[in-house]
Amino acid sequence: MAQAWLFPGQGSQRVGMAQDLWARFSQARALLEAANRLLGFDLTAYMFGNATEDPEAAAARLAQTEITQPALYVHSLAVVAVLEAAGCYPDAVAGHSLGEYSALAAAGALSFEEGLRLVRLRGQLMAQAGHKHPGAMAAILGLEDAAVEALCQETVAEGYGWVQPANYNAPGQVVISGEVKAVSRAVEKAQAQGARRVVMLPVSGAFHSPLMEEASRQLAEAIAHVPLHVPRCPVYLNVTAAPSRDPSEIRDRLVEQMLAPVRFTQTLRRMQGDGIATFWEVGPGNVLAGLVRRTLGREVQVLTVGTAEELETLLQQKH
């Protein structure tokens, strides 16, 4: 039965992440220590919450995008290191936004070191873009994708500025992104059209929109010089929702990804259509597991593999 590994993005971080992996698995500890050395600062102090005794301050520090992105990447790859040591490999991979870098590293298309360097830079560039070109994002629940697309187009046509879908997360769950005034207007329209709920996201930048143009250009320069290899298995890309094993296409789509919507709903449906029946969420939290169930139904096999306990249970079942 074909199995896909899915890698989470921002929003799945939590203080204490990967601390149990560090304590229980030598492969995870080695990778976490390597990340600290490569970055030149103690990333695990932010992940574990050791940098401060104030829980709120620890959560706020970890939520800074330039910290969040490497933290999520490193947590996911620490789990992968343990899985690979036990002989577990995926038939396909995909990631949600930042998680696409974790997916590429897990599939061998990107080295751990190069991936870490890119996600660190990506986080820094996105944080800078958020300060320079403030934007907003909002999750719209309970409207069809086409209705959300239409209200974004209407808002732009009315002259409120740019807004577009940023994440197709699951049926009836689309995140929009753009200029503050435009997102506010689109939110009003969504509520008037009967959206079940609208949630403003706690971000300063309009991720996955043209407001990231400058950041995308700078990231493109770095991506152009990073060696990309043919992945061991198909990587389903955010921009196209289609599988690829072509390093040249992967490079182009990684650059586009900062400006384009994450087509996660479409990715999951394509994976299921291609015969994938089992999904593992590899990394912290269970956000993607919930999206899989919402998109493909509750009968689909979904597993979260992010804690030491989850890993130990899985490895015991394997042997």
> Exposed, middle or buried: residue 316 (CB in 10 Å: 0-12, 13-18, 19+)?
exposed
Phi, psi dihedral angles at 318 (to 5 degrees)? -75, -25
Give the CA diameter of the chain.
Answer: 61
Phi, psi dihedral angles at 110 (to 5 degrees)? -135, 135
Residue from 12, 76, 97, 216 carrying the catalytic annotation: 97
**What six digits make up the tokens of 239?**
């921009």
Span 44-91, pLDDT tens digits: 999 999 877 788 888 889 988 899 999 999 999 999 999 999 999 999
Residue from 76, 177, 208, 209 carrying the catalytic annotation: 208
Span 163-197, pLDDT tens digits: 999 999 999 999 999 999 999 999 999 999 999 99
**pTM for the structure as a whole:** 0.96
Span 183-242, pLDDT tens digits: 999 999 999 999 999 999 988 789 999 999 999 999 999 999 999 999 999 999 999 999
Q: Is the dihedral of CA 221, 237, 234, 264 positive or negative?
A: positive
What is the pLDDT confidence band of residue 319, given thresholds at 50, 70 and 90?
low
Q: Which domains does the chain have, with CATH numbers?
A: 2-131+210-318 (3.40.366.10), 135-200 (3.30.70.250)
Q: Is the dihedral of CA 144, 148, 149, 153 positive or negative?
A: positive
Catalytic annotation present for 26? no
Catalytic annotation present for 111? no
Which of 171, 154, 174 has its CA nearest to residue 162? 154
Residues 6+ apart with CB under 8 A from 113: 34, 38
Other beta carbons within 10 angstroms of residue 243's beta carbon come to 19
Taking the C-alpha atoms of residue 232 and residue 244, their distance in angstroms, rounded to an integer, is: 11
